[in-house]
C-alpha cells in the first residue's frame, strides 16, 4: 500500500499558485483542495486560522490578495464550484 501524506501537506505536492501580500506580510499558497497562509516574517509559520479547505472534488488554481490585504481571492474548478 502506498504511503499516504496527511491532507494538510498534500497541497505542497500539487502547488498551483502563490501570492504575497506586503501590506499584511503574508503569503497565500494554493494547491490540491486547500489554501494555506504563511507569515512572511523570519519564521514563515502557517497561520492556521486563515486556512481554507474545500471539498475533495474541488481544486484551487489561483490565489491572490487585494492591495490592502483585506480580501483574499481564490479561483478553481470542480463539482459545485461557484
Q: Is 13 or 18 the better-scoring residue by pLDDT? A: 18
- Judge whether 2 lies within some domain: no
Instruction: Flag whether 48 is in a domain.
Output: yes
Whether 80 is covered by a domain: the verdict is no
As a whole number of angstroms, the distance between CA 71 and CA 24 comes to: 11
In a domain, 81, yes or no: no
pLDDT in tens, 43-65: 899 999 999 998 888 888 999 99
Domain that holds residue 32: 7-75
Q: Is residue 21 part of a domain?
A: yes
| Residue 54 forms part of a structural domain | yes
Closest CA relative to residue 10, chosen from 65, 45, 60, 44:
60
Looking at residue 40, what DSSP letter applies?
-
Number of separate domains in the chain: 1
Predicted TM-score (pTM) of the model is 0.77
Amino acid at each position: 500500500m502506498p504511503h499516504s501524506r496527511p491532507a494538510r501537506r498534500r497541497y505542497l505536492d500539487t502547488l498551483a499558485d502563490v501570492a504575497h501580500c506586503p501590506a499584511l506580510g503574508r503569503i497565500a499558497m494554493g494547491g490540491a483542495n486547500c489554501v494555506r497562509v504563511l507569515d512572511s516574517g523570519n519564521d514563515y509559520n502557517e497561520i492556521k486560522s486563515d486556512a481554507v479547505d474545500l471539498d475533495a472534488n474541488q481544486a484551487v488554481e489561483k490565489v491572490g490578495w487585494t492591495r490592502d490585504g483585506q480580501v483574499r481571492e481564490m479561483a478553481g474548478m470542480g463539482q459545485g464550484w461557484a
